[in-house]
Structure 1
Amino acid sequence: MTDPAYVSIAGEYARKIRNGELPPGIQLPSYAEIATRHGVSDIVVRKALDLLQGQGLVRSVRRRGIFVSDRPNLVRISPERQMESAETTFSNESTQQIQVDRETESVPATDELAGNFGVTVGDELTHVVTRASEDGRPISISDTFQPSNVSGISAATDLEEAIADQLPTPEHAEWLGTTPGDLVKTVRQRFMTADGQVIMISNISYPRDRYDSFVFRMKLSADA
Protein backbone atom coordinates (compact mmCIF):
# COMPACT_ATOMS: atom_id res chain seq x y z
CA MET A 1 0.00 0.00 0.00
CA THR A 2 1.34 3.43 -0.96
CA ASP A 3 2.02 5.78 1.94
CA PRO A 4 -0.08 8.97 2.17
CA ALA A 5 1.69 11.97 0.64
CA TYR A 6 2.22 13.67 4.00
CA VAL A 7 3.94 10.54 5.40
CA SER A 8 6.28 10.37 2.40
CA ILE A 9 7.13 14.07 2.65
CA ALA A 10 7.74 13.83 6.40
CA GLY A 11 9.90 10.76 5.85
CA GLU A 12 12.03 12.58 3.27
CA TYR A 13 12.72 15.49 5.62
CA ALA A 14 13.26 13.16 8.59
CA ARG A 15 16.00 11.32 6.71
CA LYS A 16 17.67 14.59 5.68
CA ILE A 17 17.62 15.80 9.28
CA ARG A 18 19.01 12.61 10.74
CA ASN A 19 21.81 12.27 8.18
CA GLY A 20 22.89 15.88 8.74
CA GLU A 21 21.88 17.21 5.33
CA LEU A 22 19.56 19.57 7.23
CA PRO A 23 21.58 20.56 10.33
CA PRO A 24 20.12 21.79 13.65
CA GLY A 25 18.81 25.37 13.51
CA ILE A 26 18.38 25.57 9.75
CA GLN A 27 15.04 26.82 8.45
CA LEU A 28 12.89 24.55 6.31
CA PRO A 29 11.35 25.85 3.08
CA SER A 30 8.01 27.64 3.39
CA TYR A 31 4.69 25.79 3.18
CA ALA A 32 4.19 27.13 -0.33
CA GLU A 33 7.66 26.01 -1.46
CA ILE A 34 7.18 22.49 -0.10
CA ALA A 35 3.70 22.28 -1.61
CA THR A 36 4.98 23.36 -5.03
CA ARG A 37 7.99 21.04 -4.89
CA HIS A 38 5.85 18.00 -4.13
CA GLY A 39 2.71 18.96 -6.02
CA VAL A 40 0.44 18.83 -2.96
CA SER A 41 -1.85 21.18 -1.05
CA ASP A 42 -0.95 23.31 1.97
CA ILE A 43 -3.07 20.95 4.09
CA VAL A 44 -0.84 18.01 3.15
CA VAL A 45 2.27 20.06 3.96
CA ARG A 46 0.81 21.04 7.34
CA LYS A 47 0.17 17.38 8.20
CA ALA A 48 3.72 16.46 7.20
CA LEU A 49 5.23 19.22 9.34
CA ASP A 50 2.94 18.34 12.26
CA LEU A 51 4.27 14.79 12.04
CA LEU A 52 7.87 16.05 12.08
CA GLN A 53 7.12 18.25 15.09
CA GLY A 54 5.53 15.32 16.88
CA GLN A 55 8.72 13.35 16.30
CA GLY A 56 10.78 16.15 17.85
CA LEU A 57 12.67 16.84 14.63
CA VAL A 58 11.49 20.39 13.93
CA ARG A 59 10.09 23.32 15.89
CA SER A 60 7.77 26.13 14.88
CA VAL A 61 8.79 29.73 15.55
CA ARG A 62 5.85 32.11 15.37
CA ARG A 63 5.99 34.53 12.43
CA ARG A 64 9.34 33.06 11.33
CA GLY A 65 8.77 29.51 10.15
CA ILE A 66 9.80 25.92 10.82
CA PHE A 67 13.33 25.13 11.99
CA VAL A 68 15.25 21.89 12.56
CA SER A 69 15.39 21.22 16.29
CA ASP A 70 18.62 22.04 18.10
CA ARG A 71 18.76 18.44 19.29
CA PRO A 72 16.71 16.25 16.97
CA ASN A 73 15.57 13.32 19.07
CA LEU A 74 13.73 10.13 18.32
CA VAL A 75 10.15 10.03 19.54
CA ARG A 76 7.78 7.12 19.14
CA ILE A 77 4.27 8.35 18.40
CA SER A 78 1.10 6.30 18.70
CA PRO A 79 -1.43 5.51 17.38
CA GLU A 80 -0.52 7.20 14.10
CA ARG A 81 2.44 4.90 13.52
CA GLN A 82 0.17 1.86 13.87
CA MET A 83 -1.33 2.78 10.50
CA GLU A 84 2.11 2.32 8.94
CA SER A 85 4.03 -0.82 8.19
CA ALA A 86 7.13 -1.50 10.29
CA GLU A 87 9.18 -0.95 7.15
CA THR A 88 7.76 2.56 6.70
CA THR A 89 8.02 3.50 10.36
CA PHE A 90 11.64 2.51 10.85
CA SER A 91 12.73 3.76 7.42
CA ASN A 92 11.34 7.19 8.31
CA GLU A 93 13.32 7.10 11.55
CA SER A 94 16.64 6.07 10.07
CA THR A 95 18.98 6.63 7.17
CA GLN A 96 20.47 3.16 7.65
CA GLN A 97 19.36 -0.13 6.12
CA ILE A 98 16.20 -1.48 7.72
CA GLN A 99 15.37 -5.18 7.64
CA VAL A 100 11.98 -6.48 8.81
CA ASP A 101 11.17 -10.19 9.06
CA ARG A 102 7.86 -11.78 10.03
CA GLU A 103 6.85 -15.27 11.09
CA THR A 104 3.16 -16.26 11.18
CA GLU A 105 1.70 -19.33 12.86
CA SER A 106 -1.52 -20.60 14.41
CA VAL A 107 -1.42 -21.14 18.18
CA PRO A 108 -3.98 -22.20 20.80
CA ALA A 109 -5.32 -19.48 23.09
CA THR A 110 -3.81 -19.50 26.58
CA ASP A 111 -5.89 -18.64 29.66
CA GLU A 112 -4.73 -15.01 29.50
CA LEU A 113 -5.31 -14.57 25.76
CA ALA A 114 -8.67 -16.34 25.89
CA GLY A 115 -9.77 -13.96 28.63
CA ASN A 116 -8.67 -10.92 26.61
CA PHE A 117 -10.35 -11.99 23.38
CA GLY A 118 -13.43 -13.56 24.95
CA VAL A 119 -12.77 -16.96 23.35
CA THR A 120 -12.34 -20.46 24.74
CA VAL A 121 -8.97 -21.69 25.95
CA GLY A 122 -7.43 -23.65 23.10
CA ASP A 123 -9.25 -21.74 20.34
CA GLU A 124 -7.05 -20.95 17.35
CA LEU A 125 -5.28 -17.58 17.27
CA THR A 126 -3.00 -16.05 14.65
CA HIS A 127 0.42 -15.23 16.08
CA VAL A 128 2.84 -12.96 14.20
CA VAL A 129 6.41 -12.33 15.34
CA THR A 130 7.96 -9.22 13.75
CA ARG A 131 11.69 -8.58 14.06
CA ALA A 132 13.32 -5.35 12.89
CA SER A 133 17.00 -4.49 12.59
CA GLU A 134 18.95 -1.38 11.58
CA ASP A 135 22.21 -2.09 9.73
CA GLY A 136 22.15 -5.53 11.35
CA ARG A 137 21.50 -4.22 14.88
CA PRO A 138 18.20 -5.48 16.36
CA ILE A 139 15.93 -2.56 17.26
CA SER A 140 12.51 -4.13 17.81
CA ILE A 141 10.64 -7.39 18.26
CA SER A 142 6.91 -7.90 18.72
CA ASP A 143 4.41 -10.68 19.33
CA THR A 144 0.97 -9.95 17.89
CA PHE A 145 -2.12 -12.09 18.49
CA GLN A 146 -5.54 -12.06 16.83
CA PRO A 147 -8.51 -14.44 16.69
CA SER A 148 -8.26 -16.48 13.51
CA ASN A 149 -11.47 -14.94 12.14
CA VAL A 150 -10.11 -11.38 12.43
CA SER A 151 -7.73 -9.76 9.98
CA GLY A 152 -6.05 -6.43 10.64
CA ILE A 153 -7.33 -3.57 12.79
CA SER A 154 -9.77 -1.87 10.41
CA ALA A 155 -12.63 -2.46 12.86
CA ALA A 156 -10.74 -1.00 15.83
CA THR A 157 -11.88 2.32 17.29
CA ASP A 158 -9.62 2.45 20.35
CA LEU A 159 -6.00 1.71 21.11
CA GLU A 160 -4.85 1.12 24.68
CA GLU A 161 -1.14 1.17 25.47
CA ALA A 162 0.87 0.33 28.58
CA ILE A 163 4.56 1.30 28.56
CA ALA A 164 7.11 -0.05 31.02
CA ASP A 165 10.77 -0.86 31.60
CA GLN A 166 10.91 -4.55 32.39
CA LEU A 167 12.72 -7.80 31.84
CA PRO A 168 12.09 -9.14 28.33
CA THR A 169 10.79 -12.59 27.52
CA PRO A 170 13.57 -15.06 26.62
CA GLU A 171 12.74 -14.76 22.91
CA HIS A 172 12.82 -10.95 23.01
CA ALA A 173 16.03 -10.93 25.06
CA GLU A 174 17.71 -13.25 22.56
CA TRP A 175 16.78 -11.06 19.58
CA LEU A 176 17.73 -7.75 21.23
CA GLY A 177 20.94 -9.25 22.58
CA THR A 178 20.36 -8.18 26.18
CA THR A 179 22.33 -9.68 29.03
CA PRO A 180 20.56 -11.38 31.96
CA GLY A 181 18.99 -8.78 34.22
CA ASP A 182 18.93 -6.01 31.58
CA LEU A 183 15.63 -4.17 31.19
CA VAL A 184 14.06 -3.24 27.87
CA LYS A 185 11.34 -0.76 26.95
CA THR A 186 8.08 -2.65 26.46
CA VAL A 187 4.80 -1.52 24.95
CA ARG A 188 1.66 -3.61 25.37
CA GLN A 189 -1.14 -2.70 23.00
CA ARG A 190 -4.80 -3.68 22.86
CA PHE A 191 -6.87 -2.70 19.83
CA MET A 192 -10.60 -2.63 20.57
CA THR A 193 -13.89 -2.10 18.75
CA ALA A 194 -16.51 0.44 19.81
CA ASP A 195 -18.26 -2.18 21.97
CA GLY A 196 -15.05 -3.02 23.84
CA GLN A 197 -14.18 -6.23 22.00
CA VAL A 198 -10.41 -6.80 21.84
CA ILE A 199 -9.37 -7.76 18.31
CA MET A 200 -5.57 -7.53 18.52
CA ILE A 201 -2.91 -7.66 21.21
CA SER A 202 0.73 -6.74 20.61
CA ASN A 203 3.68 -7.01 22.98
CA ILE A 204 6.63 -5.00 21.66
CA SER A 205 10.17 -4.69 23.02
CA TYR A 206 12.78 -2.04 22.15
CA PRO A 207 16.28 -1.37 23.50
CA ARG A 208 15.85 1.08 26.39
CA ASP A 209 17.91 3.73 24.59
CA ARG A 210 16.04 3.49 21.26
CA TYR A 211 13.69 6.42 21.94
CA ASP A 212 14.08 9.63 23.91
CA SER A 213 10.37 9.68 24.67
CA PHE A 214 7.03 8.10 23.88
CA VAL A 215 3.97 10.12 22.89
CA PHE A 216 0.38 8.93 22.81
CA ARG A 217 -1.85 11.04 20.60
CA MET A 218 -5.52 10.60 19.84
CA LYS A 219 -8.31 12.58 18.18
CA LEU A 220 -10.96 14.06 20.46
CA SER A 221 -14.56 14.21 19.33
CA ALA A 222 -15.68 17.72 18.48
CA ASP A 223 -18.64 17.39 20.83
CA ALA A 224 -16.72 15.62 23.61
Structure 2
Amino acid sequence: MEDPAYVSIAGQYARKIRSGDLPPGVQLPSYAEIAKENGVSDIVVRKAIELLQTQGLVRTVQRRGVFVTDRPNLVRVSPERQLESAETTFSNESDHEIQVERESTQVRATDSLAEIFGVAPGDEITHVVTRATEDGRPISISDTHLAPGITDISSATTLEETLADRIPSPTHAAWLGTAPGELTKTVHQRFFAADGRAIMVSDVSYPWNRYDAWAFRMPIG
Protein backbone atom coordinates (compact mmCIF):
# COMPACT_ATOMS: atom_id res chain seq x y z
CA MET A 1 0.00 0.00 0.00
CA GLU A 2 1.42 3.39 -1.04
CA ASP A 3 2.11 5.81 1.80
CA PRO A 4 -0.13 8.91 2.03
CA ALA A 5 1.57 12.06 0.73
CA TYR A 6 1.93 13.63 4.19
CA VAL A 7 3.62 10.49 5.56
CA SER A 8 6.04 10.48 2.62
CA ILE A 9 6.87 14.18 3.06
CA ALA A 10 7.35 13.77 6.81
CA GLY A 11 9.64 10.82 6.12
CA GLN A 12 11.80 12.89 3.76
CA TYR A 13 12.37 15.55 6.41
CA ALA A 14 12.79 12.99 9.22
CA ARG A 15 15.67 11.38 7.34
CA LYS A 16 17.32 14.76 6.70
CA ILE A 17 17.00 15.73 10.36
CA ARG A 18 18.32 12.46 11.76
CA SER A 19 21.20 12.34 9.27
CA GLY A 20 22.28 15.87 10.23
CA ASP A 21 21.53 17.37 6.82
CA LEU A 22 19.07 19.59 8.70
CA PRO A 23 20.84 20.33 12.01
CA PRO A 24 19.15 21.55 15.21
CA GLY A 25 17.82 25.08 14.98
CA VAL A 26 17.57 25.16 11.19
CA GLN A 27 14.32 26.52 9.78
CA LEU A 28 12.31 24.36 7.40
CA PRO A 29 10.96 25.83 4.15
CA SER A 30 7.57 27.51 4.35
CA TYR A 31 4.36 25.55 3.94
CA ALA A 32 3.92 27.07 0.50
CA GLU A 33 7.44 26.08 -0.57
CA ILE A 34 7.02 22.50 0.65
CA ALA A 35 3.61 22.27 -1.02
CA LYS A 36 4.98 23.54 -4.34
CA GLU A 37 8.01 21.24 -4.23
CA ASN A 38 5.86 18.15 -3.62
CA GLY A 39 2.81 19.13 -5.67
CA VAL A 40 0.42 18.95 -2.71
CA SER A 41 -1.93 21.25 -0.81
CA ASP A 42 -1.13 23.26 2.31
CA ILE A 43 -3.39 20.87 4.25
CA VAL A 44 -1.14 17.93 3.34
CA VAL A 45 1.94 19.89 4.40
CA ARG A 46 0.27 20.81 7.69
CA LYS A 47 -0.38 17.13 8.44
CA ALA A 48 3.25 16.30 7.59
CA ILE A 49 4.52 18.99 9.97
CA GLU A 50 2.15 17.78 12.70
CA LEU A 51 3.56 14.27 12.30
CA LEU A 52 7.13 15.60 12.58
CA GLN A 53 6.11 17.50 15.73
CA THR A 54 4.61 14.36 17.22
CA GLN A 55 7.89 12.58 16.55
CA GLY A 56 9.76 15.32 18.43
CA LEU A 57 11.73 16.43 15.37
CA VAL A 58 10.46 19.97 14.80
CA ARG A 59 8.86 22.84 16.72
CA THR A 60 6.66 25.65 15.47
CA VAL A 61 7.40 29.26 16.47
CA GLN A 62 4.40 31.54 15.98
CA ARG A 63 4.83 34.06 13.15
CA ARG A 64 8.34 32.75 12.47
CA GLY A 65 8.04 29.22 11.10
CA VAL A 66 9.04 25.61 11.76
CA PHE A 67 12.46 24.74 13.20
CA VAL A 68 14.39 21.52 13.87
CA THR A 69 14.37 20.80 17.62
CA ASP A 70 17.55 21.09 19.67
CA ARG A 71 17.61 17.37 20.41
CA PRO A 72 15.67 15.28 17.90
CA ASN A 73 14.36 12.16 19.61
CA LEU A 74 13.54 8.81 18.07
CA VAL A 75 9.80 8.45 18.69
CA ARG A 76 7.55 5.60 17.66
CA VAL A 77 4.18 6.94 16.54
CA SER A 78 1.03 4.84 16.55
CA PRO A 79 -1.31 4.23 14.84
CA GLU A 80 0.08 6.62 12.21
CA ARG A 81 2.83 4.15 11.46
CA GLN A 82 0.33 1.46 10.57
CA LEU A 83 -0.04 3.37 7.28
CA GLU A 84 3.60 2.54 6.55
CA SER A 85 5.43 -0.64 5.65
CA ALA A 86 8.21 -1.74 8.01
CA GLU A 87 10.71 -0.69 5.35
CA THR A 88 9.26 2.84 5.23
CA THR A 89 9.00 3.17 9.02
CA PHE A 90 12.59 2.26 9.77
CA SER A 91 13.98 4.11 6.73
CA ASN A 92 12.23 7.25 7.96
CA GLU A 93 13.89 6.82 11.34
CA SER A 94 17.42 6.36 10.04
CA ASP A 95 19.76 7.04 7.15
CA HIS A 96 21.52 3.72 7.77
CA GLU A 97 20.99 0.56 5.74
CA ILE A 98 17.68 -1.08 6.64
CA GLN A 99 16.83 -4.67 5.76
CA VAL A 100 13.49 -6.35 6.43
CA GLU A 101 12.85 -10.07 6.06
CA ARG A 102 9.46 -11.79 6.20
CA GLU A 103 8.66 -15.45 6.60
CA SER A 104 5.05 -16.55 6.07
CA THR A 105 3.63 -19.98 6.92
CA GLN A 106 0.26 -21.61 7.52
CA VAL A 107 -0.18 -22.82 11.09
CA ARG A 108 -2.92 -24.31 13.23
CA ALA A 109 -4.75 -21.89 15.50
CA THR A 110 -4.03 -22.37 19.19
CA ASP A 111 -6.91 -22.24 21.66
CA SER A 112 -6.18 -18.58 22.46
CA LEU A 113 -5.87 -17.50 18.81
CA ALA A 114 -8.98 -19.48 17.90
CA GLU A 115 -10.92 -17.57 20.55
CA ILE A 116 -9.58 -14.21 19.31
CA PHE A 117 -10.44 -14.91 15.67
CA GLY A 118 -13.69 -16.78 16.32
CA VAL A 119 -12.54 -19.99 14.64
CA ALA A 120 -12.13 -23.57 15.79
CA PRO A 121 -8.87 -24.65 17.44
CA GLY A 122 -6.70 -26.26 14.79
CA ASP A 123 -8.10 -24.21 11.91
CA GLU A 124 -5.44 -22.90 9.53
CA ILE A 125 -4.33 -19.29 9.96
CA THR A 126 -1.41 -17.33 8.54
CA HIS A 127 1.68 -16.67 10.65
CA VAL A 128 4.18 -14.02 9.51
CA VAL A 129 7.53 -13.39 11.20
CA THR A 130 9.10 -10.02 10.32
CA ARG A 131 12.71 -9.28 11.22
CA ALA A 132 14.42 -5.92 10.72
CA THR A 133 18.06 -4.88 10.93
CA GLU A 134 19.88 -1.53 10.80
CA ASP A 135 23.42 -1.83 9.41
CA GLY A 136 23.15 -5.54 10.21
CA ARG A 137 22.10 -4.93 13.83
CA PRO A 138 18.71 -6.44 14.81
CA ILE A 139 16.22 -3.69 15.75
CA SER A 140 12.83 -5.40 15.60
CA ILE A 141 11.06 -8.74 15.37
CA SER A 142 7.35 -9.46 15.22
CA ASP A 143 5.02 -12.45 15.19
CA THR A 144 1.81 -11.70 13.33
CA HIS A 145 -1.24 -13.95 12.97
CA LEU A 146 -4.03 -13.26 10.49
CA ALA A 147 -7.57 -14.62 10.56
CA PRO A 148 -8.56 -17.06 7.78
CA GLY A 149 -9.09 -15.26 4.48
CA ILE A 150 -7.23 -12.12 5.62
CA THR A 151 -4.06 -11.10 3.77
CA ASP A 152 -3.54 -7.53 5.04
CA ILE A 153 -5.08 -4.89 7.34
CA SER A 154 -6.81 -2.86 4.64
CA SER A 155 -10.21 -3.78 6.10
CA ALA A 156 -9.25 -2.84 9.68
CA THR A 157 -11.01 0.13 11.27
CA THR A 158 -9.65 -0.07 14.82
CA LEU A 159 -6.22 -0.72 16.30
CA GLU A 160 -5.74 -1.68 19.94
CA GLU A 161 -2.20 -1.56 21.34
CA THR A 162 -0.67 -2.59 24.65
CA LEU A 163 2.86 -1.37 25.40
CA ALA A 164 5.01 -2.96 28.09
CA ASP A 165 8.59 -3.64 29.18
CA ARG A 166 8.79 -7.42 29.20
CA ILE A 167 11.17 -10.34 29.02
CA PRO A 168 10.85 -11.38 25.36
CA SER A 169 9.95 -14.80 24.06
CA PRO A 170 12.97 -17.06 23.39
CA THR A 171 12.77 -16.49 19.61
CA HIS A 172 12.57 -12.71 20.02
CA ALA A 173 15.40 -12.71 22.57
CA ALA A 174 17.58 -14.77 20.24
CA TRP A 175 17.03 -12.38 17.31
CA LEU A 176 17.58 -9.18 19.32
CA GLY A 177 20.53 -10.69 21.18
CA THR A 178 19.19 -9.83 24.63
CA ALA A 179 20.79 -11.36 27.70
CA PRO A 180 18.77 -13.73 29.93
CA GLY A 181 16.34 -11.67 32.02
CA GLU A 182 16.91 -8.49 29.97
CA LEU A 183 13.78 -6.51 29.11
CA THR A 184 12.62 -5.36 25.69
CA LYS A 185 9.95 -2.91 24.57
CA THR A 186 6.98 -5.00 23.49
CA VAL A 187 3.82 -4.00 21.66
CA HIS A 188 0.78 -6.26 21.47
CA GLN A 189 -1.53 -5.20 18.63
CA ARG A 190 -5.04 -6.25 17.69
CA PHE A 191 -6.66 -5.03 14.50
CA PHE A 192 -10.45 -5.11 14.25
CA ALA A 193 -12.85 -4.86 11.30
CA ALA A 194 -15.89 -2.56 11.36
CA ASP A 195 -18.07 -5.39 12.69
CA GLY A 196 -15.78 -5.79 15.72
CA ARG A 197 -14.17 -8.98 14.43
CA ALA A 198 -10.43 -9.39 15.12
CA ILE A 199 -8.57 -9.89 11.85
CA MET A 200 -4.93 -9.63 12.89
CA VAL A 201 -2.86 -9.99 16.05
CA SER A 202 0.79 -8.99 16.26
CA ASP A 203 3.46 -9.10 18.96
CA VAL A 204 6.45 -6.84 18.31
CA SER A 205 9.72 -6.57 20.25
CA TYR A 206 12.31 -3.79 20.08
CA PRO A 207 15.57 -3.24 21.99
CA TRP A 208 14.63 -1.60 25.28
CA ASN A 209 16.52 1.63 24.48
CA ARG A 210 15.61 1.98 20.79
CA TYR A 211 13.03 4.75 21.27
CA ASP A 212 13.16 7.85 23.45
CA ALA A 213 9.36 8.07 23.56
CA TRP A 214 6.14 6.57 22.28
CA ALA A 215 3.27 8.60 20.86
CA PHE A 216 -0.27 7.39 20.28
CA ARG A 217 -2.82 9.05 18.02
CA MET A 218 -6.42 7.95 17.58
CA PRO A 219 -9.77 9.42 16.60
CA ILE A 220 -12.14 10.30 19.44
CA GLY A 221 -15.81 11.24 19.64
Alignment map for 1:36-115 (pairs within 5 Å): 36-115=36-115
Q: CA deviation at 1:59?
A: 0.8
Aligned to 2:3, the other structure's residue is in SS state coil
Q: CA deviation at 1:39?
A: 2.3
CA deviations on 1:101-140 (whole Å, 9 max, x unpaired) are: 0000001011111111111110101000000000001000
Distance 2:85 2:2 in 1: 10
Q: CA deviation at 1:7?
A: 1.9
Distance 1:99 1:42 in 2: 33
Aligned to 2:47, the other structure's residue is in SS state helix
Distance 2:18 2:34 in 1: 19
Is 1:24 aligned with 2:31? no
Please tell me the residue identity of whatever aligns with 1:144.
Answer: T
Distance 2:6 2:193 in 1: 27
Cα root mean square deviation, aligned? 1.1
Unmatched 5+ stretches in structure 2 = none
CA deviations on 1:43-97 (whole Å, 9 max, x unpaired) are: 1211111111111100111121111011100111111111211001110110000
Distance 2:190 2:9 in 1: 29
- Would the aligned equivalents of 2:3 and 2:83 in 1 still touch at CA under 8 Å? no
Distance 2:12 2:154 in 1: 27
The equivalent residue for 1:194 is: 194
Q: CA deviation at 1:35?
A: 1.4
Distance 1:142 1:46 in 2: 32
Is 1:117 aligned with 2:117? yes
Please tell me the residue identity of whatever aligns with 1:178.
Answer: T
Aligned residues: percent identity?
A: 69
Alignment map for 1:198-213 (pairs within 5 Å): 198-213=198-213
Query: How high is the TM-score relative to the length of structure 2?
Result: 0.97
Residue range with higher mean Cα deviation, 149-158 or 88-97:
149-158
The count of corresponding residues between Structure 1 and Structure 2 is 221
- Would the aligned equivalents of 2:160 and 2:189 in 1 still touch at CA under 8 Å? yes
Please tell me the residue identity of whatever aligns with 1:210.
Answer: R
Distance 1:178 1:151 in 2: 31
Q: CA deviation at 1:5?
A: 2.2
